Chains A and B, each alone.
Chain A
């Protein structure tokens, strides 16, 4: 069964927005959910995305027409929905998805950003890229094939990148006669191996993207399933708790100093709140200097606001004139991040040139830049079997391993499991300037 579907298939599905009265106020109260889809063409991923976009009116007629005429000129018998999502010439010609594509749709409740990622192992780095900003991951499983190696790999990356919510879409239920037994078997298999990962919230949904069952509307063919449709789940999954509001961390990005008489006293520290909440009057400490002060005001573009929480970009003014510059971090005296030069991290390698032990690289961590040397590759992870290979000597493209680094200066960090923003860094090759690795901090290197 191919992932293609006809336009008429789509058109007959009930429209998600039907009967919806457009309300300006409701739109202004929507929040944002970023989710990742991973899979290959055969999983029905394009059909699923096509249906979500079409049923939420996010595909326009001229885009449909363009995909339709492209399908015809390629000699496809039916409209190939993948042509809507595959944006590059090489992708259309080869019929594969190479890179992450970002798609957008909205319902009256939420705006969604889909990071649509290729599923094959040679595109692991692309999936990791899409996963780094996602709140939720959709993993597609073909009901006829059950849990396969690819499902395991995708779940591992979901857990490695700490995506808080996972939805397992057991797709193509129409091809297994809507069998509860098949679904339950897949669910049990998945739960068994997922127990090895730290994924807190897993939801299973039996569906058929082709027929639309349980995608937007509840299916009438699976009475035994009492849960929500996929879209209902996406609209209602609780994401407000995903952000850390307890541990205040503010990496300083840019110092705002107007050169004018009117504002000559203004000295604002611009940045994006990484975690926690900052309020006027809070006592703070600036790292690395250790100088303390109090927050005089918080503003955005000169307009004062009461408090700042993640992921807001604000400007903070302090009571005292202390020396703070880009790369420094503002936090609370009684709640400070770790500080260290010897750091262990899980690394996903992203370049054709392997990671070399003993080589120096530049890293970017929050608003900070430093240099580092790779001290040790503790182990490489076999992402098919999840075994640790202790005698590995290098990390090649798409490989994942635990690496010990020595930094040229201390980093102010939290473990990635506690805070994505202060627990992640990228590795940059100093010759090519390319981003060659993504690192998730475990903690200080233990001897």
Chain B
């Protein structure tokens, strides 16, 4: 039997299908190698894609892990509604661990300043969830194209019992062989869509017809311009500050994080096709709309070393 180029072309896999296959393989590997995994679910598009991939990996059975939401209390109301609907349609278990509870207990604290972000307070909350539920592996939807510290992180990212990442001491990761061995108390963060770009995620959402929150599509919203960015204005504590005048504009969100640190962009993109075309032409990165990454050059690396995703 001879192997011809033509017969192989028949089996050609598009890049999206190749990325999907890789992610499914990673998810099953975690299910097999760990006792208590969980899937981090924020309600953002990347975690929605992760849920979709988990369906591909495990259906018609249930997921061998719950979803975990680290709730900062700074959510867009639309994102919370979407989360609850998705979970009920899915029939899977959702665990919500609230930053506010940890602040009340004195374990986490608000950043100083009049308008604190709860980005940093997520870290002790996440570590508390890991300890409470004894999770040994957590899926995250982070991608290597988002940020340069992430570009260096393994798919199985080993964390010590303080949740810390040691970038200089990462396990070699070869072929599709993942080493999840760990001591009691240690855990692994797993990033099945590490190799996806923002464009891949949008294309995949379009290809698979995945439902996402309306926040991602063009809509009218009151915003103020703060530090050169369009900041959404909501109920307290996210109202306009002194001297700011809210303006109604046609915007959408490229990324959905906390209301306190996610900026909108002017956009008429009302369909997935529009969004894909907009991403193709975009000249600013997605995390450019995340004020939390702008603190300093190594903001992400430093947060990861403390236990952040």
Q: Which residues of A contact B (CB under 8 A)?
A: 22, 24, 27-32, 57, 60-63, 66, 70, 84-90, 92, 98-104, 106, 110-111, 113, 125-126, 128-129, 132-133, 238, 240-241, 243-246, 253-254, 256-260, 262-263, 266, 270-272, 277, 300-302, 307, 309, 311-313, 326, 350, 362, 364-365, 367, 420-421, 424-426, 428, 433-435, 438
With beta carbons under 8 angstroms apart, the residue of B60, B152, B171 that contacts A101 is: B152
18 contacts between A and B (CB under 8 A): A30-B15, A31-B18, A60-B284, A88-B301, A92-B297, A99-B170, A104-B144, A104-B145, A128-B172, A128-B174, A245-B7, A270-B28, A270-B57, A309-B13, A313-B20, A350-B172, A364-B177, A428-B181
Q: How far is the CB of B191 from chain A (nearest CB, A)?
A: 11
Contact B177 A426 (CB under 8 A): yes
Chain A residues in 8 Å Cβ range of B174: 128-129, 132-133, 424, 426, 435, 438
- Output the least CB separation between A48 and chain B (Å): 17
Q: Which residues of B contact A313 (CB under 8 A)?
A: 20-22, 24-25, 28, 56-57
B282 CB contacts on chain A under 8 angstroms: 60
CB distance from B156 to the nearest CB of A (A): 10
B144 adjacent to A102 (CB under 8 Å): yes
Task: Select the stretch in B78-86, B109-117, B193-201 that faces chain A.
Answer: B193-201
Tell me which residues across on chain B come within 8 A of A92, comparing CB atoms: 297
Binds A, one of B39-47, B94-102, B273-281: B273-281
Q: A70-B297, A132-B175, A312-B21 are in contact. Are A60 and B168 (CB under 8 A)?
A: no
Q: A32-B13, A240-B5, A311-B21 are in contact. List 16 more A-B contacts (CB 8 A).
A: A30-B14, A31-B18, A87-B152, A90-B167, A98-B168, A111-B197, A240-B9, A245-B3, A245-B8, A254-B32, A271-B25, A301-B57, A313-B24, A425-B177, A426-B175, A433-B182
Chain B residues bordering chain A, tally (CB within 8 A):
76
Across the interface, name the chain B residue whose C-beta is closest to A313.
Answer: B24
- CB B251 to nearest CB in A, in angstroms, measures 18
Q: How far is the CA of A425 from the CA of B178 in the complex (A)?
A: 10
The answer to whether B276 touches A24, judged by C-beta atoms less than 8 angstroms apart, is yes
Cβ of B127 within 8 Å of any chain A Cβ, yes or no, is: no
**Most chain A beta-carbon contacts within 10 A, residue among B1, B174, B179:** B174
B270 in contact (CB, < 8 A):
no
| A129: contacting residue among B8, B173, B194, CB under 8 A | B173
Interface centre among B17, B57, B152, B280 (most CB of A within 10 A): B152
Interface pair B60/A302, CB less than 8 Å apart: yes
Which residues does chain A contribute within 8 Å of B179, judged by CB atoms? 364, 426, 428, 433-435
Set B12, B151, B288: member contacting A87, Cβ < 8 A? B151
Residue of A nearest to B178 (CB): A364
Given contacts A258-B60, A277-B11, contact A88 B149 (CB under 8 A): yes
Whether the pair B14, A257 counts as a contact (CB closer than 8 A) is no
Chain B residues, CB < 8 A from A420: 175
**In the complex, are the beta carbons of B8 and A32 less than 8 A apart?**
no
Q: Which residue of A lies closest to B17 (CB)?
A: A312
Residues of A within 8 A of B62 (CB): 258-259
Q: How far is the CA of A421 from the CA of B24 in the complex (A)?
A: 16
* A89 touching B18, Cβ below 8 Å: no
Which residues of chain B have C-beta atoms less than 8 A from A277's C-beta? 11
CB-defined contacts of A31 to chain B, threshold 8 Å: 12-15, 18
Q: Are B1 and A246 in contact (CB under 8 A)?
A: yes
Q: State whether B61 touches A66 (Cβ < 8 A).
A: no
User: A32 touching B19 by the CB < 8 A rule?
Assistant: yes
List residues of chain B with CB within 8 A of the CB of A129: 172-174
Instruction: Give the complex CA separation of A89 and B168 in angstroms.
Output: 10
* Contact (Cβ within 8 A) A61 B284: yes
Q: A32-B15, A110-B15, A254-B28 are in contact. Are A433 and B183 (CB under 8 A)?
A: yes
CB nearest to B207 among chain A residues: A28
B203 within 8 A of A: yes
Q: Is B88 an interface residue (CB 8 A)?
A: no
Say yes or no for B215: interface residue by CB 8 A criterion.
no
**B56-68 Cβ-contact flags toward A at 8 Å (1 or 0):** 1111111000000
> How far is it, in angstroms, between the C-alpha of A244 and the C-alpha of B283 when the chains are bound?
40
Q: Does B103 contact A (CB under 8 A)?
A: no
**Do residues A433 and B28 form an inter-chain contact, with CB atoms below 8 A?**
no
Q: Does B55 contact A (CB under 8 A)?
A: yes
Check B152–A24 contact: CB distance below 8 A: no
**Contact string, B252-294, partner A, CB cutoff 8 A, digits 1/0?**
0000000000000000000001001100111111001000000
Shortest beta-carbon distance from A330 to chain B in Å:
15
Nearest first, the 3 closest Cβ-Cβ pairs linking A and B are A87-B148, A301-B56, A313-B24
A424 touches B3 (CB 8 A): no
Residue from the list B11, B21, B58, B167 in contact with A256, Cβ < 8 A: B58
Chain B's closest residue to A309 (CB) is: B11
Candidate in B5, B62, B151, B301 with the most chain A CB atoms within 10 angstroms: B151
Given contacts A89-B298, A240-B9, A28 and B151 within 8 Å (CB-CB):
no
User: How far in angstroms is the closest Cβ of chain A from B243?
Assistant: 26
B90 located at the interface, meaning its Cβ lies under 8 Å from any Cβ of chain A in the complex:
no
Taking CB atoms, residues of chain A closer than 8 Å to B173 are: 129, 435
Q: Give the nearest-CB partner of A99 in chain B.
A: B152
| Contact status A28-B16, CB under 8 Å | yes
Across the interface, do A246 and B3 meet the contact criterion of CB distance under 8 Å? yes
Assess whether A253 is in contact with B144, with CB atoms less than 8 Å apart.
no
